[in-house]
Amino acid sequence: MELTTDGSPKDRRILVATSACLLGHRVRYDGADKRSDWIADTLAQHLTLVPFCPEAEAGLGVPRTPMRLIRDSQSLRLITLDPPTRDMTLVLQHFIERKMVQLSAVPPAGIIFKSGSPSCGLKSVGVWHPETATTEMGSGLFAQACLQAWPLTVSVQESDLTTTMNRGLFLERLFVMDRWRHLLECGQAPKALSRFHARHKFQIMSRDRQALSILGQLTAGPPGEPRVAEYGRRLLTTLAIPPSHALQIDVLMHLYGMIKKSVSASENKEFLSLTEKSRQLRTSLHEPLSWLRFQAQRCQNRYLLEQWYLFPDPRQAAIPI
């Protein structure tokens, strides 16, 4: 069996639970779907997408009357919109309990939710407060249960996957956290925590320097499960921050510092000029990054070759965004 450089099988497919309507299943309240071509065609070729539809699977039927979330002083309830209004909370909760047991057999590495749905939406659902006649934004009932059950699962909604940048960031998070899960499943943590951190250092640094320092301290603390669990939680939170242009330039300069003595004066000049141009114009970092990749390979610089920031998992790199 061929292995990746983190020791996991090369052909291992990442499991991502996905709202069925995004995959083209006609399960919405109006009998339609909300197919996303990128999810249903592109991602489905590279990841194992497991469809779920809380409302259809709970037996509410297709088509069905639309519903909304209502919060009163007692509880959060799922209520039909059309009169006579009916409370569907218990029906959905029974489904959620069954589904959680089923999915827990192999918990998903990621979940893609349909936004705005009172079952699936992620912080994008209007929740009506009758006592104050106000609406606040919240998450659907199934989405809430998933977030609680699998805090280390990479959870997004399709409305956050419409730009190239956001798609790239989602895949990056998914593959980092997949490597994290692999580390836990193999029983390699906490022994291998330092090496894991060293290989992800620049992905973390591109988001938050303080988080890098805290995560670094966690790798150096006394061995034990709480330290490992805290590392995983903080890692996922940090990866949710989009990398800033300024911090990415810092990352490039750090990486450059590891190789500058191995390249000629004119090559050094070329890198510095490419990076300065990108810094001043705030343009893509593609050129200095390509320079670093090329030189890392040419000089066989092991430290740089092991950086996931520079050389993403080939399975991740193969997914068009």
In the complex, the residues that contact ligand SF4 under the rule CB under 6 A are: 19-21, 27-28, 53-56, 114, 117, 119-120
From the CB of 13, what's the least distance to ligand SF4, in Å? Answer: 22
From the CB of 144, what's the least distance to ligand SF4, in Å? Answer: 13
Kind of pairing, strands 76-80 and 67-71? Answer: antiparallel
Nearer to ligand SF4, 27 or 252 (CB): 27
Identify whether the C-beta of residue 243 lies closer than 8 Å to the C-beta of residue 213: no
From the CB of 26, what's the least distance to ligand SF4, in Å? Answer: 9
Structure tokens, 259 = 């190789």
Burial letters 15-33, b for 16+ CB under 10 A, else e: bbbbbbbbbbbebbbeeeb
From the CB of 27, what's the least distance to ligand SF4, in Å? Answer: 5
Closest to 54 in 3D by CA, of 134, 3, 137, 119: 119
Closest to 198 in 3D by CA, of 116, 271, 288, 258: 258
From the CB of 99, what's the least distance to ligand SF4, in Å? Answer: 12
What's the per-residue H, E or C state across 40-56? Answer: HHHHHHHCEEEEECHHH
Closest to 161 in 3D by CA, of 151, 146, 150, 171: 171
Strands (E) located in the chain: 15-19, 48-52, 67-71, 76-80, 110-113, 125-129, 134-138, 154-157
From the CB of 43, what's the least distance to ligand SF4, in Å? Answer: 16
Residue 80: phi and psi, rounded to 5, are -70, 150
Nearer to ligand SF4, 19 or 155 (CB): 19
- Residues listed for the chain: 321
* CA separation for the pair 56, 53 (Å, rounded): 6
Nearer to ligand SF4, 20 or 215 (CB): 20
Burial class, 309, CB count within 10 angstroms (exposed 0-12 / middle 13-18 / buried 19+): buried
* CA separation for the pair 309, 204 (Å, rounded): 9
Nearer to ligand SF4, 56 or 69 (CB): 56
Burial class, 155, CB count within 10 angstroms (exposed 0-12 / middle 13-18 / buried 19+): buried
From the CB of 65, what's the least distance to ligand SF4, in Å? Answer: 13
From the CB of 102, what's the least distance to ligand SF4, in Å? Answer: 15
